[in-house]
Amino acid sequence: MKTDESILNKCLFFTSNRLSNILRKKAEDAFKDLGIGVPYVYMLVVVNQYDGITQGELAEKLDIAPSTCTRFVERLVKDGILRKEFEWKTAHIFLTEEGKKVCRGIDDSLLALHRSYCQPLGEERALQLIRDIGAACEKLSGQK
């Protein structure tokens, strides 16, 4: 196999990982004042929208393994940001008052993140890229 840098530029896996790394750094910068890690931010966004969501539904919406979801939820429960209530064996997830305070800062942080990639790309190009990546995820995962 011919190996040179052009292979990297033609590889969706490599390019998407590079983009992910760049966006992760932008997200870390945008969310640094919230006092929680980037993966937890999106969990709080979902719990805020679906108060009382089950842990299984939360894992599904975030497209993460149930064990990862459990670990994240347990961490946020320990930090006093989330609370769990059980209905038989099903855990329902709720924001605590502290969690609601954290959520109030999320919108500004999400806007800062949005601006950080729209500024160099342009608003329409960034939105089209989001749509294209979403469509690729759906097709490659076999959902559509």
Which listed CATH number (1.10.10.10, 1.20.5.510, 3.30.70.1520, 1.10.3720.10) goes with 26-140? 1.10.10.10
pTM: 0.83
Q: Nearest 5 degrees, angle CA 30-CA 28-CA 65? A: 120
Q: What is the pLDDT of residues 123-138, one digit of tens each?
A: 999 999 999 999 998 8
Q: What is the pLDDT of residues 41-67, one digit of tens each?
A: 999 999 999 999 999 999 999 999 999
Helices (H) and strands (E) in the chain, counts: 7, 3
